């Protein structure tokens, strides 16, 4: 899933909490677009 300009709405702390809880990875592309990937 990819969200244009999504990096403005999510903090690093949010990303870390979600990753630890369910293994969802947040990837910032071009310094602003946010892509979600499930870590297997």
Q: Tell me the pLDDT tens digit for each residue of 24-34.
A: 999 999 889 99
Question: Mean pLDDT for the chain?
Answer: 89
CB atoms under 10 Å from CB of 34, counted, come to 19
In the predicted model, is pLDDT for residue 9 greater than 90? no
* The predicted structure's pLDDT at residue 24: 92
With a threshold of 0.85, does the pTM exceed it? no
Tokens 């990875």 map to which residue? 25
Of all residues in the chain, what percent carry a pLDDT higher than 70? Answer: 100
CA distances for 8 relative to 5, 31, 39, 40, angstroms: 6, 10, 23, 26
């Amino acid at each position: 899933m990819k969200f244009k300009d999504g990096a403005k709405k999510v903090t690093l702390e949010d990303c870390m909490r979600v990753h630890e809880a369910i293994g969802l990875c947040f990837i910032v592309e071009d310094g602003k677009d946010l892509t979600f990937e499930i870590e297997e």
